[in-house]
Structure 1
Amino acid sequence: MGCRGGTRLPLVRRLCFVVVLLCASCLCSILPYANAKRTPPPPPSVKPKAPPSPSPSQVVPAPVPPYPALPVRAVCLGGWLVTEGWILPPLFDGIPNKDLLDGTQVQFKSALRKTYITADQGGGGAVLANRTQASDWETFKLWRINETTFNFRTSGGQFVGIGASDGIIVATATAPALPETFQIVRCPFDKNRVRIKAANGYFVQGIATGEVIADYGEPTRWSDWDASVFLMTKVGQQLQGEYQLCNGYGTDKAAPVLRDHWSTYIVEDDFKFIASSGLTAVRIPVGWWIASDPNPPAPYVGGSLQALDNAFKWAEKYKLGVIIDLHAAPGSQNPWEHSSSRDGTQEWGTTDANIAQTVQVIDFLASRYATSPSLFAVELMNEPLAPRATLDSLTRYYRDGYNAVRKHSPTAYVVMSNRLGISSANSTELLPFAGGFQGAVIDVHYYTMFNKMFDNFTVQQNIDFVRTNFSGELAAVTTQNGPLTFVGEWVAEWKVPNATKEDYQKYATAQMNAYGQATFGWSYWTVKNANNHWDLEWMIKNGYINLKG
């Protein structure tokens, strides 16, 4: 009936009215804090007790990034921000004397005396021309200064140069300077017939006593009777990495070549294709010099950082996770071109300063991308090679690198690559170490390509090896309470001649089934490649691999 005219409310209604008034009063006191989202309520006068710390035996799960779900199916963007010539050979086409890049191994045989120039004992002393057969001592690695001028590095690491007097050639310098500088003059009708001009302006010759001396000043007809003419032989596999490309062109010419490559080789449509194909992440190799962009040390050129920024924008748009992979560490963690080694020398981890520099690169990358929802993981290093990369130096670096990531991101996984060059029995060597870190991942790579044992394998033998050997190795590192596992590289390519499309389909399926047990996931090498079966885009579009079935 209402409460007008002084009519008294029944007792129950009066009690309800009081309760409503009290609730309204409480609501008024609460509303200011509900609307002021950035203003916390005043602290209580007594601090609540902190929850007890977990005991060492308790497993505290790491926070999970927003996407994608585990296990990931990823593809590597190889050959994009870290150059590998075999992936896209035309990148090197414009380099003059492109067969004489940094790290090219050469031997010089006197056309007159039929003997090879040799660094006695591999270097550290005399240079002679008295060997009739060539081996390590007779092999020199080029350090390119320009298209015709070089340093020669011996197998022992010293540099060939002019000695103190009389133009005598020795190999004693530990670092090259002007006396260690030589010009290779090539015969116009036979590029492997050369003369070697020293810094004193004279040409090198091997004399009858076996010594090598720079004192020949006569012109040449390039005949075998000329003591200053040598037959140059290139041996071994030529390196075609980022260092070779940048130093081969020179910084000024390399800059437009690489910037055009970075802006056209991988574009937004590639990320759209990757996402639409059923893949959930990309693994992006980067080099250590990216942390110094836009002015990296010579011979590298700036611009790759902007490309990586673009990759994150596209990944966010298409809901893809990004695994940043430090593919080339300072000093090179292996002797191959994809670590950007200048001459195949592996020097990473040999000093504390080198390890600290590598940690700084990880800190830079984690800091820059920590707020991106696509930062899924940071891989601290790709394929360190034993025994030069020791387990001690690697675990010291992994500990510091992990902490650098965690300083900026509590959610990104931290990937630690297994060492190459160890036996399968030692493939679990990182387990005790990595198991102590939340969100740690162990990366293993499986190929039936880079070992002579696979040379004569049949289709079925390759498939059986994946199902038995590789699957068994992966199972050994995939433990219930240990770090996650990641097959960071694999490819549906082999050494089987005349294999059919159906053969490739079976091989790819066998690998995906085997690597599906990896708790973090797998990543195919690569998304694009001059070689079709290494090109996942080609494999998907041509029906060799189906990720949606």
Structure 2
Amino acid sequence: MDNLPAGARPRFLGQANDSQSFRDSYGGQSTNNSTYHLNPDGGSSRYSTVPGGDQQFASYRDTPGTPRSPTTPFLSEKNATYASPRQKKRKLGLILGVIAGIFALIAAVVVLVYFLAIKPHNSNKSSGSTSSGTSTAGSSNPTATSGVRTVITGGDGSTVTRNDGTTFTYNNSFGGIWYWDPNDPFNNGARAQSWSPALNETFNYGSDIIRGVNLGGWLNTEPFISPALYEKYANGTPVAIDEWTLSQNMRADTSSGGGISQLEDHYKTFITEDDFAQIAAAGLNWVRIPLGYWAIETRGDEPFLEKTSWTYFLMAIQWARKYGIRINLDFHALPGSQNGWNHSGRLGTINVLLGPMGYANAQRSLDYIRILAEFISQPEYKDVIPYFGIMNEPQATNMGQEVLSTFYLQAYNIVRNAGGIGQGNGPFVSFHDGFLGQNNWAGFLPGADRIALDTHPYLCFSTQSAGAVSTFIDAPCTGWAANMNTSMTAFGLNAAGEFSLAVNDCGEFVNGVGLGTRFEGTYPGVTTVTGSCASYLAWQSWDDATKQDYMQLALHSMDALQNWFFWTWKIGNSSISGTVMAPHWSYQLGLQNGWMPTDPRASVGQCGGGSPFNGPLAPSATGGAGAGTIPPSVTSSLAWPPASISGGGVISVLPSYTPTGTVPTLTPPTFTITSGKQTTTASAGDGWLNSADNAGLMTDIASCSYLDPWVGSAAPPSPLCSAGATKREAIPEPVLTHIPARP
């Protein structure tokens, strides 16, 4: 491909170890957890009975649809007054008068009872409650101003009002409950399914299973996920091959194309509230949301649309809260690129922890991790975003594991400094395995508080095979499961942040724009033709047997991986063919057409039991006793910054930044609350939890020289700084002002 940058890599890497057929990954599925999921307190119910006989969630802060008592005290008094007949004989006129009065009063009582008790009760009853307390339709709350009852919660069959005022019917047969009250915007009473803990309940990692899906290609675009965006500029100058070049083309396309605002149009339409409702209804309880650094800021000539994607991430938080779905925030694209692939923002070279700008870009990246951590650790968001992937798919084989480990420890300290030590104080910190395999991370950061290991096992990027789909079904169980179980013990919490149903690399732009496929022998450097992609992409013609084979592959993959996020929820239509051209990567398309399971719990036991991890994890791994104390020998051996980095040399002679800039704190959402005739703004946090952390933003030193952050291989500037500049080794890192652990 003529416009492929030198040294560019495809979006996906093949196996790290050529001696293996599959990337190292781990699997297994506990088969003894279903009772625990339904009764997380060891057999006790999640629910408590409230007056009126209905069951509600015991831990709800504001119990949705709290039942009214059969009669109010006022009506009870009236019933007591008028229930006893008079025994004494009176004159006929008096008797008739009394009788008439009684009938009048009875009529009044009936009317009062009907409007104050029976009608609301019947309304709630018709809304429905299952015996376990799962509401099957909407519960109501009166608005303070109009007196009109607005539905704020419900389950299967209920009517949901979207942000724009339109409505739809919520279809969730798994006992999921949505909850959204504009006057209580941080209520965490929703749950995705009856077996998934509500957001205001504890998710027991190692016992409760992460069944998730990625929202790939939404706030961090990729050509094969949103092909129409890129097809439009297939003949552009330059050709759109990543979000960098896509943004350049859009910015130049102002006469009729709408300019860079086209990206916001994509944000508005590609993922909406309906997707979150559908995800919960599909039996999924987590989403992983990739986010690029330009959600925070851009510098220099970086063409990305700055800050706008953050606005839509805030919407994602609201929708996730509404449907009881937890978020894994994945820092997907770092300045300079951590892997050289198109999803990192710019296809080309690796410039984080590698090369002459590798240290400066790492400093800048740590600042962005700090800014995100401060926001999501706030009490308004921590229960919705309890998981933070700090760097997606770094190329550890290029950077070196030790150098990457020093970055990981520094990032861990930054995240913990934002929220504090202990369960509930900020998110799990998730480290990608860097394609080294989980076994190489056994024992990493002993004593750390809530860390997780991320792996991305794929079947499709190593040796290509023309075998039937049925020949791949057992591959996850034999290739991933045992290793996953081992790592859950040797490291702690493990999750597969990405996997798909692709058994080869067929699909438009799957490897990148214009890069072809290994399967058809059109990929750069590949001459062997394995077969034709035509039948793999003609998903409309797949017969039932083919769909069942893909279904079994999905179930076996889910069982082997235990905790997982499918890549990805949705693939957009090609503007050329008018249809999805990468069907193996779309969970939604598989649900609609019968090759993805409608209930992912059906995966349990598909690998035959084996030796699945039998949770829970050790208390120290989940923020319990002993968490947060890493031995000094470990912290000193992984001190930041590293002494040198590959392709750059000694840190002291490389360009670096100084912490003197102004931190761009992330903006919270705005919610208005109506009470009586007054309207106020809800407290949504200020974007910065640890007020004691007042270090500045890493920025240029005025007297020093810098290379382009995306420079690739080059010599450092010489001289690096003017004679009067402070020596590089004397420039301090920001001091982390720790806050005490919260109870």
Shared fold, TM over 0.5? yes
* 1:256 and 2:265 matched: no
CA 1:345–1:65 in structure 2 vs 1: closer, same or farther (change >3 Å)? farther
Would the alpha carbon gap of residues 298 and 353 (structure 1) be closer, same or farther in structure 2, given more than 3 Å must change? closer
Question: Where does 1:81-100 land on structure 2 (aligned, <5 Å)?
Answer: 81-95=219-233, 97-98=235-236, 100=238
Alpha-carbon shift at residue 278 of structure 1 (Å): 0.9
2:151 paired residue number: none
Give the letter for the 1:311 counterpart: A
> How many angstroms apart in 2 are the aligned matches of 1:388 and 1:65?
42
Note closer, same or farther for the CA distance 1:349–1:444 as it changes in structure 2 (3 Å cut): same
Is residue 282 of structure 1 aligned with residue 274 of structure 2?
no
State the partner residue of 2:594. 543
For 1:415, the equivalent position in structure 2 comes to 430
Query: Are residues 363 and 99 of structure 1, via their aligned partners in 2, closer, same or farther at CA, if it must alter by over 3 Å?
Result: same
Q: Where in structure 2 are there 5+ consecutive unaligned residues?
A: 1-198, 420-424, 505-532, 537-541, 572-579, 603-743
User: Structure 1 residues 79 and 404 mapped into 2: Cα distance closer, same or farther (>3 Å)?
Assistant: same
Write the mapping of 1:106-121 to structure 2, written as runs, cut at 5 A.
none
Change (3 A) 1:88 1:501: same
Q: Is the CA contact 2:569–2:586 (under 8 Å) kept in the aligned structure 1? A: yes
- What's the counterpart of residue 445 of structure 1? 456
Cα distance change on mapping 1:472 and 1:460 into 2, 3 Å: farther
Find the aligned partners of 2:441 and 2:366 in 1 and give their Cα distance.
Answer: 19
Shift of 1:457: 3.8
The SS at the match of 2:473 is helix
Of the three residues 318, 321, 324, the one matched with 1:319 is 324
| Contact 1:320–1:374 (CA under 8 A) maintained in structure 2 | yes
SS state at 1:78 partner: coil
Which deviates more from structure 2 when the two are superposed, residues 383-392 or residues 82-91?
383-392
User: What is the aligned counterpart of 1:504 among 536, 542, 550?
Assistant: 550
1:448·1:454 contact (CA, 8 Å) conserved in 2? no
> Which of residues 64, 73, 79 in structure 1 aligns to 2:211?
73
Percent same amino acid at aligned positions?
Answer: 30
CA distance in 1, matches of 2:450, 2:301: 33
Tell me how far 1:65 sits from its aligned partner.
8.2
What is the TM-score with the length of structure 2 in the denominator? 0.43
What is the TM-score when the length of structure 1 is the normalising length? 0.58
Corresponding residue for 1:158? none
Name the structure 2 match of 1:491: 500
What is the CA-CA distance between 1:403 and the residue it aligns to?
Answer: 1.6
Name the residue aligned to 1:353: 360
In the alignment, structure 1 segments of 5+ residues that lack a partner are 1-63, 103-239
| Change over 3 Å in CA distance of 1:448–1:408 after alignment to 2 | same
Three-state SS of the structure 2 residue aligned to 1:378 is strand
Give 1:484's aligned amino acid. Answer: L
Partners of 2:303 and 2:226 lie apart in 1 by 20
Q: Which residue in the other structure is 1:271 paired with?
A: 276
Higher strand share: 1
Partners of 2:474 and 2:211 in 1: how far apart?
Answer: 22
Q: Matched residue of 1:539: which SS?
A: helix
Residues 207-226 of structure 1 mapped to structure 2, 5 A cutoff? none
2:219 partner SS: coil
- 2:569 and 2:428 map into 1 onto residues whose CA distance is 22
Q: Kindly indicate whether the alpha-carbon contact (under 8 Å) linking 1:65 and 1:411 is maintained by their aligned counterparts in 2.
A: no
- Tell me the distance in 2 between the aligned counterparts of 1:288 and 1:388: 22
Asked whether the equivalents of residues 526 and 536 of structure 1 are also in contact (C-alpha less than 8 Å), the reply is yes
- Partners of 2:479 and 2:243 in 1: how far apart? 34
| d(CA) in 1 for partners of 2:386, 2:371 | 16
Match runs of 1:378-457 below 5 Å: 378-409=388-419, 410-420=425-435, 422=436, 426-451=437-462, 453-457=463-467
Aligned counterparts of 1:364 and 1:80: Cα–Cα separation in 2? 21
Paired residues of 2:502 and 2:584 also in contact (CA < 8 A): yes
Contact 1:254–1:301 (Cα < 8 Å) also in 2 = no
Say whether the 8 Å CA contact 1:416–1:441 is kept in structure 2: yes
Distance 1:536 1:296 in 2: 38
Are the equivalent residues in 1 in contact too, given 2:438–2:453 (CA < 8 A)?
Answer: no
Count, aligned residues? 337
Q: Using a 3 Å threshold, how does the CA distance of structure 1 residues 367 and 512 change in structure 2: closer, same or farther?
A: same
Q: Go from structure 1 to structure 2 and tell me whether the alpha carbon gap of 1:375 and 1:393 turns closer, same or farther (over 3 Å shift).
A: same
Is the 1:67–1:374 Cα contact (8 Å) retained in structure 2? no
Cα distance in 1 for partners of 2:438, 2:216 equals 25
Deviations 1:463-519 (A, max 9, x none): 232111122332332216x32100111112213966711111111111111112xxx
Q: Which residue of 2 is the match for residue 523 of structure 1? A: 565
User: SS where residue 478 of structure 1 aligns?
Assistant: helix
Q: Structure 2: which amino acid aligns with 1:359?
A: L
Higher relative contact order (CA 8 A, sep 6+): 2
Tell me whether 1:370 sits opposite 2:377 in the alignment: yes
Q: Distance in 2 between matches of 1:67 and 1:367?
A: 21
Question: Residues 418 and 426 of structure 2 are in contact (CA less than 8 Å); yes or no, is this contact kept in structure 1?
Answer: no
Equivalent in the alignment of 1:332: 337
Q: 2:431 corresponds to which letter in structure 1? A: M
Residue type at the aligned position of 2:549: D
Quote the Cα distance in structure 1 between the aligned partners of 2:249 and 2:482: 44
Is 1:333–1:346's contact at 8 Å kept on the other side of the alignment?
yes
